Structure 1
């Protein structure tokens, strides 16, 4: 806290800060500590008084800002997110409450009404807001500005990517390679084994997949770096050696540097008329048409897609395989569903999108897995103007934590919420906006079809090769915001 305060004083150029800096430098070390303590106390009292004034003039929802400066950041980051929400929902008798997260006054919204409200008011009442970790890892300016004329082509990068991530693009482009990647993966890591740890294996598979799909790399890279960056997003942004944030910061820099090098190689090859492959090649191809697509912009988009694909797919596959192995009834229903597909497609050929859509029960199992083991806990927004929501006021400039999983275990929407029951997603649809693992509205995850494509293809090959059971059904789950199997999920394999 003191180091942050001193850094703020040093970086400010007002007369008051100059005077404080001069006084501080003239003090001996013991007096410097006392001086910073006094300044911190004054700053805390000021913040508290300001908060009381603000709370008194706005019809805020119930809540508390927590401790001065840090608020409830540590409770949010290091407690189970479900526990964090449930405790406050019970305390305030409301799914809407205010708090302080990351030093920002924040209103937490969850529930179907909140999901609809946020997703339908993008750019009208709310705008996306990135945490400091996200801004640093993906090099996002704190305050975005209008693009300069020569940068208008920046938008072409996401547009090109979205075309490939649509079902027809996945089948035509990804389908030609995913069968080969999966076949090699099972031959190398599953065949001939009687016991395996699932989580490390599916991480290795998803890493190979994203490196091939996004960068056209035959040999996977960034195993440690991508994992460090993913889990570093929800970390305290204090950069000291060995911290989660410090490791993630270094990882993001290393990934960006390597991707920019690969971008240069792709651009040079395109200019020479060479045929290049991979999603990245489609993005940088805009250069050939004379459009300006900054390499930093391209690398940030690719980093974001890799970050939202690699670990989430691995976690979902791991817990899905575990639950199938524990439930013979689920296993036999999946076997039955895949039987006709196997006869026509075989067990080592990637399924096309039409076949994916026929495997409705398998997708229901995946959906139930994502409900109980969510990999995207929520997203931040910022109020563009004073917002009235359910009779409360969300002041302009306040942050909104949109909890995507706030009702995943709410018995009002999911009876017996702790039980694993894929039938919840069979043959009917839930009420709108009750279950949104990929978000909703114009900023919903562009990779949702890709996730479905990969997960069902993987399960298809696995289910036609093996039967299995979990060795430790009661294995603990670690992680506060994102669930991770503590011991890797060991299963016993039976070859078919």
Structure 2
């Protein structure tokens, strides 16, 4: 029912948007040398194929049809050029703010309260400072300060509750619960898993709503996401108010949230709504994407005893120097080169971000084609990752691709590139390597459904949650 409703909603919204699309197409001018491609159906463009078909298939079909790594289409009511080769990735990342600027989908604007860039006023200095402070804690020194030994206790509690004494578990829901507990502690100072669990369904709906049809009617994925975003925002603002109240009474309040709600200067507080929007966005990107990578990584390791043994050997050396059951510090993390190679290969096979949109600031000439001002560019972060031109036997799981020789530049960029690359790479590395470290020193496992179906058009999701048999040491 939800699928049919989304299809109906898509038709309705694109019917309205088509008027503007046609105007933009005429404005672009027939004399310009546009990239090859098709705008698709007169009313819906190719939005349906983009949102509901596998993104790899969407890209491969059009690359094959148009014999190019650049093509034009119509997505979300916008004339769009899709760049899916490494040259396109390099071009976009090196021309941020010069030829292109970031463009957010309507769902992103509404869910995260992102102001319209065309009409929005410049951010206040205090908000800019707050954003820098929040992003700064995602660096190694910030992670060490605010995570400290807490990761170890959260991990031990998670294993004792959900893994110890079990002979069979479903990996994906467990790692989702863990990453949610972790981001609630890291960003909000919530330490108890049962308190963090109150956010679970809301973040699930928020995540699903980002790539949905943006029509707000009962029963739609988008409406559920809007309600979820409002609920998360309210919970964060409640916590902010608690911190502010404690600080106003002279109490000593530590932690990230206490730091960012304090005035930068002059005793003024940064607007609480903006803080909650920033933190909600960071929590969203640090929760389910990391859980997806961990889940598929655990599956792939369980299917390859040779890789499992290499990881065990690598972590055994770290355990000798750090001690058993201890969280890894940054020096230890640097030593786990092979385990990180396994994580990188997992992200190549199961990418958690399909790409990003940009808006063309001025007419662009690229590869002999014109991309008109005002058009959108979909910068595909995937498409290259399974291209045999760049990766031999691209469907095979081979971590050695990331040992020694790195892939050709811009063929594998899970965290983006350039000035707008993802700031969470260190946090991601810290969480993944620590989780695998604790798991590999306690268990060996076997995958029950090696051919389990992978759902999701834009974001891969294991259909059955990756059930495994556990063997305890």
TM range (shorter): over 0.9
Tell me the equivalent position of 1:61.
35
Q: Deviations over 1:27-53 (max 9, x none)?
A: xxxxxxxxxxxxx79x96896586367
| CA deviation after TM superposition for structure 1 residue 74, in Å | 0.4
Question: Is 1:468–2:442 an aligned residue pair?
Answer: no
Equivalent residues of 1:472, 1:490 under 8 A apart? yes
How has the CA–CA distance of structure 1 residues 154 and 330 changed in structure 2, closer, same or farther, with 3 Å as cutoff? same
Report the 3-state secondary structure (helix = DSSP H, G, I; strand = E; otherwise coil) of the residue aligned with 1:165.
coil
Shift of 1:346: 2.7
1:434 aligns with 411
**Corresponding residue of 2:371:** 394
1:131 corresponding residue in structure 2: 105
CA RMSD of aligned residues (A): 2.3
Gaps of 5+ in 1: 9-39
State how far apart, in whole Å, the 2-side matches of 1:350 and 1:137 are.
35
Among 236, 240, 260, the residue aligned to 1:283: 260
Query: Closer, same or farther in 2 for the Cα pair 1:53/1:344, shift >3 Å?
Result: closer
- Match runs of 1:37-186 below 5 Å: 48=22, 51=25, 54=28, 56-145=30-119, 147=121, 151-186=124-159
After alignment, is 292-301 or 186-195 more displaced? 292-301
Q: Between Structure 1 and Structure 2, how many residues are aligned?
A: 463
For residue 278 of structure 1, report the CA deviation from its aligned partner: 3.2
Cα distance change of structure 1 residues 488 and 50 upon mapping to structure 2, 3 Å threshold:
closer
- Per the TM alignment, residue 275 of structure 1 is displaced from its structure 2 partner at its CA by 2.6
The DSSP-based 3-state class of the residue aligned with 2:80 is strand
Whether the aligned pair in 2 keeps the contact of 1:198 and 1:318 (CA below 8 Å) is yes
Distance in 1 (alpha carbons) for counterparts of 2:27 and 2:114: 33
Larger radius of gyration, structure 1 or 2? 1
- String of CA shifts for 1:128-158, please: whole Å, max 9, x gaps: 1010000000011223556469x32110111
1:258 aligns with 2:231: no
User: Which residue is 2:4 aligned to?
Assistant: none
Conserved? CA contact 1:280–1:302, under 8 Å: no
For residue 257 of structure 1, report the CA deviation from its aligned partner: 1.2
Pairs within 5 Å for 1:311-326: 311-326=288-303
Aligned to 1:193: 166
Flag the 1:384–1:197 CA change in 2: closer, same or farther, 3 A.
same
Output the TM-score relative to the length of structure 1: 0.89
Cα distance change, pair 227–277 in 1 and its aligned pair in 2 (3 A):
farther
Q: Please identify, of 157-166 and 185-194, the stretch whose mean Cα deviation from structure 2 is larger.
A: 157-166
Which residue number corresponds to residue 274 of structure 1? 251
Q: Mean alpha-carbon deviation: is it higher for 137-146 or for 424-433?
A: 137-146
3-state SS of 1:286 partner? coil
Q: Is residue 183 of structure 2 the alignment partner of residue 206 of structure 1?
A: no
Q: Shift in Å at residue 276 of structure 1?
A: 2.3
Mapped contact 2:215–2:223 kept (Cα < 8 A) = yes
Give 2:211's match in structure 1, choosing from 229, 234, 248. 234
1:335 maps to what in 2? Answer: 312
- Report which stretch shifted further, 426-435 or 296-305: 426-435
